[in-house]
Homo-oligomer: A and B are copies of this chain.
Amino acid sequence: MQKNMTGYDINKEFNHGLIDFWYAKHSQIYPELKKLVNEGLIAYKIEISGDVLEKKVYSITDAGKSDFIEWLCQDVEIEPTPKDVFRLRMFFSQYIDRQTIIPLIDSQIKQHQKKLQRLLDTNHCFDDIPHPYSKEAGDYLVLQGAIMRENYYLDWLEKCKQFYQTS
């Protein structure tokens, strides 16, 4: 929808980029692209890199665009709260002894702080709030959401830590 891309490009955005709300492995991406071509929603042109290496550069078709916009405008029910393995662990935290649980929580805090820092570094790209309906609008909104999410999660982790420390 936003630019022509190869499967490799999509994989890079999902796994090395900043997209923090969706992902897929290349082993899922390539078959899925094939499927979308069969459905007429995307099409590709082969480009040659160097001497022989073939790149399949995909673009969205008109049918794909209208399908996508239709999907985008639908009012939908909220999803169930996503599964969270660490929340599951905390649910059973009564079975972890005190000298074990604090380092476990600290490890999560450390990792989430690192993630948050990475998001905040990216946030400097937006010196000004982008204009609605600009092409940066989506990036901006999801990045704000990601930052807010990490902050809430860290607050919760701190709460868990204090719960087991002050007793």
Interface residues of A (CB under 8 A from B): 1, 19-23, 68-69, 72-73, 75-96, 100, 103-104, 107-108, 111-112, 115, 129, 131-135, 137-142, 144-146, 148-149, 151-152, 155-156, 159-160, 163-164, 167
Contacts and interface: CB of A to CB of B under 8 A. Distances in A.
Nearest to A147: B156
A107 B78 CA distance: 9
Given A20-B81, A156-B145, A164-B132, A94 B138 contact: yes
9 closest residue pairs by CB, A with B: A82-B82, A152-B152, A21-B87, A91-B138, A78-B111, A145-B156, A20-B81, A132-B167, A21-B84
Copies of this chain in its oligomeric complex: 2
Contacts of A111: 77-78
A132 to B, nearest CB: 5
Contact of A141 (B75, B78, B133, B163): B163
Contact of A139 (B21, B86, B91, B100): B91
A78 B112 contact: yes
Given A72-B95, A167-B131, A90 B142 contact: yes
